[in-house]
Chains A and B, each alone.
Chain A
């Protein structure tokens, strides 16, 4: 058998270093599944369930152990849904036109319009489908009330959602294997034959009549990140799962599948520098940037902290910090701002004076004092109001602070060290409206489908809209599952 695209880009730490990697599968399974789903997150489970509901036998291969299953989806909290009127727990209405406008704005138009419109339209019936599978919803969370109109929140968050999906899938007879990493794909001329799986220290071949690739981005793969971002990637913190290594994505690319999404882009936010390298999730974010100033290693400011509301700006700060020397920055506030933001996980550094704070942060004290003095001197009188774009701004300062600029003059001073926290990478495979991957010759593959982060780049060429990741995964997961069944059963 010719395995056209076996890969060696896997997470070195997990598998390839433990095992002498053998290209010769050690075991052949007699079973031929109708649909093989690779991945164990939202998109994978949606695909598996809908393939099963349309009459296919389904095997799910999840690289993570059971207790850590669910990829980045386990860190999520909501999905963005179009709705014409108050729906369930969603307030007001969020019509297609507005949703699409929002999408165009964040992507700067870099989106496949046809796929995007289909996704947004389909988002209106996601909630109903999800409920039927046991997913529970709740009102918008404290601190995220601005999303109560557009985003449906999962009761208990993404892990609770996944638990419901896994239970539903198991109940309907979907087979699930954990600790099962797909390391190779046999795809010839746009037709999938089998996958090579690494499990229990051995490899085996799994045959299926159709493949759904729902294995996320490659942000968990440090070597790949370094290929793109150089040594700066050594200082990146990966907010989600270490199991999203892009092995399958690379495999598909090697098999001649066309890519979508910017290869040099990732979604990154500012997270606490003390966070775990992987899987720190939502709690590592720091939400006080707009209330104070942010300085780099040289104690210099580098961007307008008050440019816009934090929810609209939090995603630019990851990239901004990644561009700073040593990829480190510090958000500094004074006593006036304590309590005005969701308290972060790690306690702030705290000091009675700026030089003392500088010492704690290993910044040059004079440099920090200079930066703060210049900032304080340029703050114009105004009325502070964090709920609106207020008139508290700086004058004659570069970069300026456009809103919520209050002098840092009330001790104690607090600082949170920041690093770039990577949410996901944008590079993915191109798909058509049936979720079939598109080959380099622009023809859709016969029986290879993709859903979720691995194809999100079709819709998100760049930028991000809170909650659309889960929407894309749910919509395309369902389509991929159904279409895979259709290919199998005709």
Chain B
């Protein structure tokens, strides 16, 4: 806790306000991203405004390298870092239920839960209910083999419950953000604004540096690498999600039981998505390891890494499960995979995943403001 509080929110807000006052008098970075046009519509910067602007910032970092007031100038302006600090506070402040973030918002507990506790529980469950024989024996790909080690009811029940909880948490967090930044309800009725926000989110427009040449990550040179790795991660995740959803439909409505054939849609989606979800997080982790630390928020770093590692293990164990599903290792791998996925879900509302929710909210707000100006 103490480290998280080491730059208190009040100080961050003060730094943010000061940064915005300098930038608003300068505006040279106006072309990079949405933060600057949004800033120009304001004369003062309340905590609400700053929270909105910080989440509108995509951390492209161009504005540090371009800034004539960056350290060692006496103004010492480092806007990406200030924004990252404010975002980090957002993730804590708007978490729901708020007390959980104190535990699962911490990298250590989040990883222990996802990588140890949850897989161990799955394993234990299998062991207790189906016996060592079922868990450790070789399997065929015949229908329903997964459920010999873990009953379908337990799987659907467990994940259904957690899934629902996570959805509610996201909804509450979005609501907290929307209220906490002073968003207006009528933005939702503006189809054009919504369309633009969705478009700008899906193509990560603001990692393009304003002229689509890319952003200053991992160093000052404009590069599109991060944007592509993020696309791989996001769309990989989406495909995996689609695969699971489809499988649930197959099972519950069509009565087809997993595992599915290699060329079946759930497997194809899962494999393609899984590969994306391996390559994307790996790439992002690599970039993070060589990034320029100057514009980065050191406290955010661990949270980012934890999330990427979880994503990587989710896809990695999923692919491994596919490869080894006919061997005696299947039971163990299934337990690990399901455990990691469960851990990922449980920690999502308190980890880096929420940046997507808040950025989307900020982009809706921005699109609406643009339409009105």
Contact = CB atoms under 8 A, between A and B. Distances in A.
A90 B211 CA distance: 15
A276 interface: yes
A317 interface: no
Interface stretch (A105-113, A149-157, A180-188): A149-157
A55 interface: no
A338 B43 CA distance: 9
A77 to B, nearest CB: 6
Interface in B1-54: 21-22, 24-32, 37, 40, 43
Interface in B48-72: 62-63, 65-72
B221 interface: yes
A87 to B, nearest CB: 16
A77 B220 contact: no
Interface in A292-309: none
Nearest to A347: B21
Nearest to B213: A136
A67 B71 contact: yes
A77 B73 CA distance: 18
A155 B31 contact: yes
A339 B31 contact: no
Contact of A282 (B28, B65, B71, B73): B28
Given A142-B40, A283-B22, A345-B21, A156 B31 contact: yes
Contact of A343 (B21, B31, B221, B222): B21
A160 interface: yes
A121 interface: no
A342 B30 CA distance: 14
Given A136-B211, A156-B66, A343 B25 contact: yes
Contact of A143 (B27, B65, B71, B73): B27
Nearest to B41: A142
B30 A158 contact: no
B210 interface: yes
A159 B66 CA distance: 5
Nearest to A279: B73
Given A155-B210, A160-B62, A167-B221, A281 B43 contact: no
A221 B210 CA distance: 38
Interface in A334-351: 338-339, 342-345, 347
Given A138-B30, A155-B32, A283 B72 contact: no
Given A74-B68, A156-B66, A163-B65, A343 B73 contact: no
Nearest to A156: B66
A139 interface: yes
A138 B211 contact: yes
Nearest to B27: A141
Nearest to A284: B25
B186 interface: no
Given A157-B66, A163-B220, A141 B43 contact: no
Interface of B: 21-22, 24-32, 37, 40, 43, 62-63, 65-74, 209-211, 213, 220-222
29 contacts: A136-B210, A136-B213, A136-B222, A138-B211, A141-B27, A141-B30, A142-B40, A143-B40, A153-B31, A155-B31, A155-B32, A155-B210, A156-B29, A156-B31, A156-B32, A157-B28, A157-B68, A158-B28, A163-B220, A276-B74, A279-B74, A282-B25, A282-B26, A283-B26, A339-B43, A342-B24, A343-B21, A343-B43, A345-B21
The 4 closest A-B CB pairs, nearest first, are A138-B31, A157-B28, A156-B66, A283-B25
Given A67-B71, A136-B211, A156-B63, 19 more contacts: A67-B70, A75-B68, A141-B27, A143-B40, A154-B28, A155-B32, A156-B29, A157-B66, A159-B66, A159-B67, A163-B65, A283-B22, A283-B69, A284-B25, A338-B43, A343-B24, A343-B25, A344-B25, A345-B22
